[in-house]
Homo-oligomer: A and B are copies of this chain.
Amino acid sequence: MSSSAVDFALKNYPRFVEELKALLRIPSISTLPEHAGDCRLAADSLATELKRIGMEHVRLIETKGHPMVYGDWLHATGKPTALVYGHYDVQPPDPLDEWLSPPFEPTERDGNIYARGAVDDKGQVMAQVKALESLLVATGKLPINVRVIFEGEEEVGGEGIADFVASKPPELKADFALVSDTELFAPGLPTLCVGLRGMIYTELEVRSSRTDLHSGVYGGAAPNSFVSLAQILAKLKDEEGKILIPGFYDDVIPPSAEELATWKKLPFDEEHYRISEVGSKQLVGEKGYSVLERTWARPTLDVHGIPGGFTGAGAKTVIPAKATAKVSMRLVPGMTPAKAFALYKSFVEKIAPAGVDVEVRLIHSGDPCVVAVNNPYIQAATRALHEVWGKDTVFIRSGGSIPIVGDFDRHLGLPSVMMGFGLPDDNLHAPNEKFHLKNFELGIISLIRFMEEAAN
């Protein structure tokens, strides 16, 4: 690894950590309107940083929601162009009382940095920025052409960037996308993600009466929105995890026998996974499928919360007029959000108990995708990763959704290199989210070496 950029990165690494902390202190929670200003602050701060390190044409690109950050460096004549993607927005930090240190006061413990967004995705965005800085400052140039696009709406569906990508703008003209929002399959194991689930995120609202009612006076005659909602939810998925919406599995394209065979060789200990990652007394899910198949290649349905009704301490004897469940489904290759939503909506309307009105709303959606592995960018990535980590790269899928990867493919024809450095126990979307600092460091170096290799 005789790279002056790598040397620069190693020398400046302590400063890089401090700069990551500064970004983590900004509570850029995209789903909460009161944090819109913080989202813009995070965008501004990234734009300032891109300018400082020598990127050109740096600016915010406005959307209906939070702005995107753009910058480019296009002087590597004859070399490929990378579209470097990440997101600066984060999930809400609740439940707050389960954090060991405050979510927006980044704290180092045991070689990790703890903060909301540490790994998803600010730590990885900063790894990209610091790789670019190391190359630009140490060598005065980049080995390939680079366009950077960071969005601030990934956690709320990414509508702004999706519209922008669909418009095929000149700013996004590139040969491949470099997406850093995924994880290593295991500590120290270089990993490229080559498949993502899609999703539909919905609200299912049940209305049972005009106003809240006294459960003593009306209990026995008035429908109860919460009971009816529970009855609907219980009919969507059985206790083993099979989704009961008719036709829901019809279009699922299973992984190839070859891909399934490589998954079987991955170092995966189901009992360790259950105890140390999931922390539940038993794993659940469809019969006949392994955990990796169930989380990577099978659609699922989850309920995230049921706002409304009485939620205070103690007792209130009310029949709530309205109950709303936040329900999402993960989709796999072959499925489309439009069809999945239509099947779900019509089934909910059909099974709604007597006495209640139901309304199903689509909040956001994303296509599932698989990316090809037979292209020079994936090959350059595996070379770089082998050099930095000393091991062959494993190809995995992710159960999560990065809808933009599908959009890059569909609208811009770009294959994505999903090179991420999280760990399975990084507590994404949960309290005590963290990023292993060694992975931040090796991530920066891997990205430097990948860009150098991609020039060959």
Q: Which residues of A contact B (CB under 8 A)?
A: 31-33, 91-92, 94-95, 98, 155-157, 197, 199, 201, 208-224, 226-231, 233-235, 237, 239-241, 273, 277-286, 291, 294-295, 298, 300-321, 323, 325-326, 328, 330, 353-357, 363-364, 398-401, 424, 427-432
| Contacts A209-B278, A302-B319 supplied; 11 other A-B pairs, CB < 8 Å | A31-B316, A91-B318, A95-B212, A156-B314, A201-B317, A216-B398, A218-B277, A220-B298, A226-B305, A234-B234, A317-B401
Instruction: Report yes or no: B303 in contact with A226, Cβ–Cβ below 8 A.
Output: yes
A33 to chain B: which residues have CB within 8 Å? 313
Instruction: Output the least CB separation between A347 and chain B (Å).
Output: 15
The reply to whether B310 and A326 form a contact with Cβ atoms under 8 Å apart is yes
A298: chain B residues within 8 A (beta carbon) = 220
Report how many copies the assembly holds: 2
Minimum distance in angstroms from A241 CB to a CB of chain B: 7
- Distance in angstroms from A202 CB to nearest chain B CB is 9
Q: Are B308 and A305 in contact (CB under 8 A)?
A: yes
The CA-CA distance from A217 to B398 in the complex, in Å, is 7
Q: Enumerate 6 A-B pairs (CB-CB under 8 Å) in ascending A order.
A: A98-B211, A210-B279, A211-B279, A230-B230, A316-B429, A317-B328
With both chains docked as a complex, state the minimum distance between the C-beta of A182 and any C-beta of chain B, in angstroms. 10
Q: Select from chain B the residue with minimum beta-carbon distance to A354.
A: B282
Contact in complex: A431, B211 (CB < 8 Å): yes
Question: What residues of chain B lie closer than 8 Å to A278, measured between beta carbons?
Answer: 209-210, 213, 218, 221-222
Name the residue in A32, A212, A306 with the highest tally of chain B Cβ atoms < 10 Å from its Cβ: A306
CA distance A282 to B429 in the complex (A): 41
Nearest residue (CB) in B for A240 is B354
Chain B residues contacting A328 (CB-CB under 8 Å) are 215, 315, 317
Give the chain B neighbours of A330 by CB distance below 8 A. 215-216, 219-220
